[in-house]
Amino acid sequence: MADVIEKVEVLVSSPSRNYVTLRLTTRDGIVGLGDATVNGRELSVAAYLRDHVGPLLIGRDPGRIEDTWQYLYRGVYWRRGPIGMAAIGAVDLALWDILGKRTGQPLYALFGGRVRDRLATYRHAFGWDLPALLDQVDAHLDAGFTNIRVQSGVPGLEVVYGVSRETVYEPAGRAAAPAEEIFDAEAYLRHMPGVIAGVREHVGEGVGLLHDAHHRLTPIQAARLGKALEPVGMFWLEDVTPAEDQDALRLVRQHTTTPLAIGEVFNTIWDCQYLIQNRLIDYIRAAVVHAGGISHIRKIFALAEVHGVQAAPHGPSDVSPISLAASIHLGVATHNFAIQEYMGYPERVHQAFPHAWHVAEGHLQPGDEPGLGVELNDELHSADDYEAAYLPIARRRDGTLTDW
Ligand code: KDG
Ligand code: MG
């Protein structure tokens, strides 16, 4: 007789930052974990899961993964969107985790086995000025990493998203409302190419340099930045323009050969389709948790493979170690998977989610535990209650809002 899902738990907690975790338990006692964290909107996904999805899962066969995905996606008139897709993603991750544990296989084996021995990753380096940035770059190089995202302060701006004056950084600030900051594209464009050229001069060739513009430039500004960075030989330039204005990237492409990455805010294959089919990007950045889980993101990767686009999923601290595990299993088993972002986590997060995935010689490894290979340390995980935290909002000097 097929096993059935008996218990659905939605756990909202804050082991140093907020996470939403789905835990499914079957009648046979198999536990599957899913990540449902949407930064700054955690409680909405938790409610969606608790009120609308959880009750539908009780009594279902956990082995019917694709059918459950289709049921939760097509069975709802109101499709797509970050909240619903993260909820479906969490269920999908938990079901794959259960399948892995039932069969005693790590997920990468169920995806067809390894196509690579180790997965390339990139780390974050930031600094208010070039010397501070180079200190962080050097620390990553010393630790064996060879791809680094570089972000820097900008003269004339008080704060810059992605950059802290401290040595640690968390994108979301704990407060009842988002902080507000001023962004000045001209000041940024005047300063940033010189900073990144300075990093290249310091590290020499052979180190992948990445930079994230957080969707804040106009198409022609983005083209100017891409062109200015051509001598540096970037690994990629990320999120140069607002992700939903997809033809903007056509203009950027006409002006520069700097590789382009976008898509961390996408949640379905239909968000990615135009950019991939028209080869307007080089890397698709959708995250496993936000793009409907393993079952759906594999279709995005397959579409990308057809059109010569590579997969490079989002991996900041708000993508929990559960979702990162899924990405790493996919990464070693997917041919066109280029690189996995690994921002890293505070130590308390590692302890709250003990995981088999690990870093070895500057690369990521999924480990060989069955399923996703992540557990929940209940005591630590639930010790700290959710506290509202938001990404900052940026305004131009005239007061209007920039994009993300
Ligand atoms: O929740 C959003 C942040 O994680 C995001 O802004 C970080 O852009 C980011 C990245 O590439 O990691
Ligand atoms: Mg980004």
Q: What is the pLDDT of residues 333-350, one digit of tens each?
A: 999 999 999 999 999 999
The CA distance from 58 to 67, in Å, is: 15
What pLDDT score was predicted for residue 259? Answer: 98
Number of the ligand 1 atom closest to the C-alpha atom of 149: 11
Q: Is 182 helix (H, G, I), strand (E, B) or coil?
A: strand
Mutate to test the pocket of ligand 1, among 123, 164, 264 (most ligand atoms within 8 A of CB): 264
Ligand 1 atom 10: residue of nearest CA: 316
Single-letter residue type at 212: D
Single-letter residue type at 244: E
Q: What is the pTM of this model?
A: 0.97
- Does ligand 1 lie within 6 Å of residue 341's CB atom? yes
Backbone angles phi, psi at 260, to 5 degrees: -115, 140
What is the per-residue pLDDT across 214-247, written as a single tens digit (0 to 9) for each? Answer: 999 999 999 999 999 999 999 999 999 999 999 9
What is the per-residue pLDDT across 346-370, written as a single tens digit (0 to 9) for each? Answer: 999 999 999 999 999 999 999 999 9
Spacing, Cα 26 to ligand 2 middle (Å): 36
The CA distance from 79 to 164, in Å, is: 37
CA 259 to chain centre: 19
Provide the token pair at 401.
């809002």
Provide the token pair at 180.
């507000």
What pLDDT score was predicted for residue 167? Answer: 80
Helix (H) or strand (E) holding 364: strand 363-365
What pLDDT score was predicted for residue 398? Answer: 94
Ligand 1 atom 1: residue of nearest CA: 39
Ligand 1 atom 8: residue of nearest CA: 214
Number of the ligand 1 atom closest to the C-alpha atom of 285: 11
| Residue/partner pairs of 159-163 with CB below 8 Å, 24 or more apart | 159/392, 160/188, 161/214, 161/391, 161/392, 161/394, 162/124, 162/126, 162/212, 162/214, 163/126, 163/127, 163/128
The CA distance from 107 to 235, in Å, is: 29
Please indicate whether residue 306 or residue 162 has the higher confidence score (pLDDT): 306
Find the mean pLDDT for residues 119-142: 97
* Percent share of the chain, pLDDT over 70: 100
* Percent share of the chain, pLDDT over 90: 96
The CA distance from 249 to 281, in Å, is: 8
- Does ligand 1 lie within 6 Å of residue 97's CB atom? no
What pLDDT score was predicted for residue 29? Answer: 98
β-partners of residue 373 are none
Q: Is 161 a catalytic residue?
A: yes
Reply yes or no on whether the pLDDT at 404 is more than 80: no
Contact, 8 vs 381, CB < 8 A?
A: no
Contact, 276 vs 255, CB < 8 A?
A: no
β-partners of residue 197 are none
What is the per-residue pLDDT across 38-77, written as a single tens digit (0 to 9) for each? Answer: 999 999 999 999 999 999 999 999 999 999 999 999 999 9
For 41, residues 6+ apart whose C-beta sits below 8 A from its C-beta are: 82, 83
**Burial level of 252, CB count in 10 A (0-12/13-18/19+)?**
buried
- Does ligand 1 lie within 6 Å of residue 219's CB atom? no
Rg (CA), the chain: 21
What is the per-residue pLDDT across 185-213, written as a single tens digit (0 to 9) for each? Answer: 999 999 999 999 999 999 999 999 999 99
What pLDDT score was predicted for residue 177? Answer: 95
DSSP state, residue 52: I
pLDDT-derived band at 160, boundaries 50, 70, 90: very high
262-272 b/e (C-beta count within 10 Å ≥ 16 → b): bbbbbbbbebb
Ligand 1 atom 7: residue of nearest CA: 316
The CA distance from 317 to 321, in Å, is: 8
The CA distance from 262 to 238, in Å, is: 6
- Does ligand 1 lie within 6 Å of residue 39's CB atom? yes
What pLDDT score was predicted for residue 381? Answer: 85
Out of 219-228, 288-297, 373-382, pick the least confident: 373-382
The CA distance from 61 to 320, in Å, is: 26
Spacing, Cα 59 to ligand 2 middle (Å): 39
For 201, residues 6+ apart whose C-beta sits below 8 A from its C-beta are: none
What pLDDT score was predicted for residue 166? Answer: 83
pLDDT-derived band at 283, boundaries 50, 70, 90: very high
